[in-house]
């Protein structure tokens, strides 16, 4: 049997291999194991990580040749993964695990290279947004879809920046990441401020080279322009990002409402007594171009009023996740029933709106 020393030991078979012949099992692949270990160690040297996993791509003809001899024995692919994986554990002192490793390194024996798949780094906190002209995420120009045109001043975008970019920029820089993805417990409109305790979020930094960072300094840098603040920045996880993406919330709002006529305090007090108020909200006109035309049942749990004047008043309310507050006030041409305008008999609209609290349900 023409087997190299490594395959002879792995398969438990005698070998008659000479220096001029090729191993019938691995077709010479075992002789490259040390070179692959060196390549993998070099590829990983530029990254901070605690856990890793090692995989391999091997030519089909090598797999087929080995399979003829390795029935019920360790195959050549597994042998390569164990050899390089154990070598990396010894050289780096890091822990191999197949469950959510920081890095998956794959030995590509076909193209003679190491492929790395870098798991994202996650950081959580709450953000405050003081601007009424900033979207939560990057908003590409509607006309050119980001390519750049006269409409957007050749920037490719509708707004100069976003909450996500404000939070992500310092973290991408210090983590040496390739990009970001914001996971937030809901979102506010561009012209709505997020105040009070802030909105829970998890920011995902893609392909980071660094994972251990100065969170205090990162928070300071995020908050320094003043229009966005990050509170309680901490190391987080993919599981927390999923929780933020899929959970429902209760929200508190403060609004300045303008009315087309004076409203008696007694009438507003009577509306407060109606809470909780169940609403049927058809998809608003302002978002109908990008969302399905559905009727959603939502609830305003509490509502109160103050600072009554001839042309408006202030409103505080607590509402269910997904409630369209502006449409609850205006009625949106009958698409929200009942509406505040309908209940008081005077047409109203939201002049200014702030979210003051967002909590997981």
DSSP states of 177-218 = -SEEEEEESS---TT-EEEEEEEEEEEEEES-S-----HHHH
DSSP states of 223-258 = HTTSSEEEEEEEE--HHHHHHHHH--EEEEEEEEEE
Known catalytic residue at 108: no
Burial (CB count within 10 angstroms: exposed 0-12, middle 13-18, buried 19+), residue 25: buried
The token pair that represents 276 in the structure block: 């909780």
**Is the distance from CB of 253 to CB of 319 less than 8 angstroms?**
yes
- Among the listed residues 108, 189, 301, 357, the single catalytic one is 189
Residue 285's Cβ-side half-sphere holds a number of Cα atoms within 13 Å equal to: 10
Q: How far apart are CA 316 and CA 267, in angstroms?
A: 16
Q: What value, to the nearest 5°, has the Cα angle with vertex 285 and ends 284 and 289?
A: 105
Q: How far apart are CA 193 and CA 215, in angstroms?
A: 25
Q: How far apart are CA 9 and CA 38, in angstroms?
A: 23
Q: How far apart are CA 299 and CA 243, in angstroms?
A: 23
Catalytic residues: 189
């Amino acid at each position: 049997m023409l087997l190299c020393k490594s395959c002879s030991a792995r398969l438990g078979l005698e070998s008659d291999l000479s220096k001029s012949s090729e191993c019938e099992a691995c077709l010479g692949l075992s002789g490259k194991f040390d070179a692959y270990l060196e390549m993998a160690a070099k590829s990983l040297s530029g990254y901070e990580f605690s856990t890793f996993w090692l995989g391999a791509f091997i030519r089909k003809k090598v797999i087929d040749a080995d399979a003829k001899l390795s029935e019920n024995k360790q195959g050549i692919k597994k042998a390569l993964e164990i050899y390089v994986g154990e070598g990396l554990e010894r050289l780096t002192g890091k822990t191999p695990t197949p469950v959510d490793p920081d890095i998956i390194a794959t030995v590509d024996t076909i193209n003679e290279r190491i492929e790395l798949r870098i798991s994202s780094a996650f950081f959580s906190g709450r953000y405050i947004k003081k601007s009424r002209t900033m979207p939560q995420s990057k908003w590409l120009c509607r006309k050119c879809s980001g390519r750049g045109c006269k409409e957007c001043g050749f920037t490719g975008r509708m707004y100069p920046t976003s909450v996500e970019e404000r939070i992500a920029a310092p973290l991408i820089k210090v983590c040496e990441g390739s990009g970001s993805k914001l996971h937030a417990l809901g979102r506010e409109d561009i012209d709505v401020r997020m105040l009070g305790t802030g909105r829970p979020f998890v920011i995902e930094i893609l392909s980071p080279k660094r994972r251990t960072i100065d969170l205090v300094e990162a928070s300071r840098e995020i908050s320094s322009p003043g229009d966005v603040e990050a509170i309680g920045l901490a190391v987080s996880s993919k599981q927390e990002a999923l929780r933020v993406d899929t959970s429902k919330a209760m929200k508190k709002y403060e609004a300045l409402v303008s009315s087309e006529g004076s409203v008696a305090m007694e009438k507003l007090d009577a509306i407060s007594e109606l809470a909780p108020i169940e609403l049927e909200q058809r998809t608003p006109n302002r978002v109908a171009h990008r969302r399905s035309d559905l009727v959603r049942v939502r609830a305003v749990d509490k509502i109160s009023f103050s600072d009554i004047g001839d042309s408006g008043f202030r409103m505080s309310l607590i509402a269910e996740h997904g409630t369209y507050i502006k449409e609850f006030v205006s009625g949106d041409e009958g698409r929200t029933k009942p509406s505040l305008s309908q209940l008081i008999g005077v047409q109203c609209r939201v002049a200014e709106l702030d979210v003051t609290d967002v909590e997981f349900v």
